[in-house]
Amino acid sequence: MALFFDENVNGKIGIYLDFAQIFQKPLDSLRGARFHWALSISKLTTDRNKMLRIRLQRHGSTHAPIYRLAICESSARRDGRFVEVIGSYNPSAKGKAVGLSVDLARADYWIKCGAQPSETVRSLIKRARKEAAAAEPAVAA
């Protein structure tokens, strides 16, 4: 008995069973007798087909959250595995504490690579761009 594994265009794995070897007859007598089970076994994800998201990971203590802006797979848990951390956000920053810090160059790189930011992260990146643009003329003067 011979099993053949084949991948079709949709990324599904097909399992082919060759009946010629089961019945021990020449292949010419069983022309087209290959039986195909189209199993919906998704191919294991590889680096080229992962869906990346830019989203917030919650850290800190109870009633005092601090968030990280992290690049992670869409299937990962909220505080689970990540690819890279590109910034942090403290919603309750007081005094000299830094409220928002984002590496805009890395954010642009990951967005260009196809990472989709969540709505909150998109607004935080927009806010960081405004703060960076406001800080540039002050430095130049």
CATH classification of the domain holding 65:
3.30.1320.10
Residue 79: its pLDDT value, please?
86
Q: Roughly what angle, to the nearest 10 degrees, separates helices 104-112 and 119-140? A: 140
* Closest by CA position to 102, among listed 114, 87, 82: 87
Q: How many CB atoms lie within 10 A of CB 24?
A: 6
Residues in the chain: 141
Q: What is the pLDDT along the chain (141 residues), one digit of tens a residue?
A: 455 555 555 555 555 555 555 555 554 554 444 444 333 333 334 445 578 999 999 999 999 999 999 999 988 888 888 899 999 999 998 888 889 999 999 999 999 999 999 999 999 999 999 999 998 877 665
- pLDDT tens digits for range 86-110: 999 999 988 888 899 999 999 999 9
Statement to judge: residues 72 and 110 lie in one domain: yes
Residue 43 lies inside a defined structural domain of this protein = no
Q: How many CB atoms lie within 10 A of CB 10?
A: 8
Residue 77: its pLDDT value, please?
87
Containing structural domain, residue 15 = 2-37
Q: How far is residue 2's CA from residue 25's CA, in Å, rounded to a whole number? A: 13
Residue 87 lies inside a defined structural domain of this protein = yes
Joined together, the tokens standing for residue 84 give 């890279």
Residue 130 lies inside a defined structural domain of this protein = yes
Joined together, the tokens standing for residue 7 give 């991948």
3-state secondary structure of 119: helix
Extract the runs of DSSP E, i.e. beta strands, from the chain: 2-7, 13-18, 35-37, 52-61, 64-73, 84-89, 100-102, 116-117
* Closest by CA position to 80, among listed 120, 53, 62, 99: 53
Statement to judge: residues 29 and 60 lie in one domain: no
Residue 25 lies inside a defined structural domain of this protein = yes
